[in-house]
Homo-oligomer: A and B are copies of this chain.
Amino acid sequence: MTHRFRVSVSRKPGLSDPEGTTTLKALQDLGFTDVSHVAFGRTIDVDLEAASGDDARLALEAMCQKLLANPVIESYTIEERP
């Protein structure tokens, strides 16, 4: 059965986010002066075959540790997509 997941990866708190800082400034320059914080992250949608949702989640956890995220500086969440 095909399981569909979304991995959301973001930097751990306290680490600098140059994209976020630059975008915050750009938004304010465009007149959106009420914006106080911008932070970027990425999503990775993964479809995989697995016997059960638990098996799929275990495989995905391994993928995150090995390739999809950098656990030293990033945190991630895994959620099933409909």
Contacts and interface: CB of A to CB of B under 8 A. Distances in A.
A59 B45 contact: no
This chain: copies in complex: 2
A66 B35 contact: no
A42 B39 CA distance: 11
A50 interface: yes
A72 interface: no
A73 interface: no
Contacts of A38: 44-47
A70 interface: no
Interface in A16-67: 23, 26-27, 30, 32, 34-50, 59, 62-63, 66-67
Contact of A47 (B10, B35, B44, B63): B35
